[in-house]
Amino acid sequence: MSASPSLRLHLPDETATEALAARLAPLLTDRPAPAAPDAPPGAAAGGRIHLRGDLGAGKTAFVRALLRACGIKGRIKSPSYALLESYKISNLYFYHFDFYRFSDPREWLDAGFRDLLRDDAVVLIEWPERAQGLLPAPDMEIFLAYADRGRDADLTVYTARGQAWLNVLTQTASPPGTGAPPRGGA
């Protein structure tokens, strides 16, 4: 089996994390072009992202930046206790899960969370490994790791939609003067 396509980026500080989130946001919220009249409204919007990495690696920081860049106003709480925080902009739903404290799969089934994993919603899941076996493959997994004072982000895609995002991110990975310095650079 061939490896899933992936991209590694170095995020030297939180501003770089926010910049990556801002590049991803329009890919999650964009509507189909007028050239596709058959597509129902909002058909292209949505997507599922799993965020992995140690405590404090920056999963919530990334999700906050992404939700802000998608246009969510007001306080964005970490769902560490509630398991889920949800938002809505026009008819697009955003679900932010954190399964760190998740223990019993019945909790998941009883709460009807599975019904929220729709292709036309933006679903962002921290600690997906705690709900292993209950979650379908995401469009993209973002693995964050401590690297010097910043973070490394490994983006891996599992669907055609994720591949389309990766193509855009790869094309715009390091615009001159604004991107991350080369790995190993000063």
In the complex, the smallest distance separating the C-beta of residue 148 from ligand ATP, rounded to whole angstroms, is: 9
| Contact partners, residue 165, CB within 8 Å, separation at least 6 | 24, 27, 47, 139, 140, 157
Binding pattern to ligand ATP, positions 50-89, x when CB under 6 A? ---x-xxxxxxx----------------------------
d(CA 99, CA 83): 6
CB 72 within 8 A of CB 80: no
Residues 51, 122: Cα–Cα separation, whole Å: 13
Q: Which option in Mg ion, ligand ATP, none does residue 29 bind, with CB closer than 5 to 8 A by kind?
A: none
The smaller minimum CB distance to ligand ATP, of residues 118 and 183, is found at: 183
Residues in contact with Mg ion, shown as a per-residue x/- string from 102 to 141 under the rule CB under 5 A? ------------------------x---------------
Residues forming contacts to Mg ion in the complex (CB under 5 A) are 59-60, 126
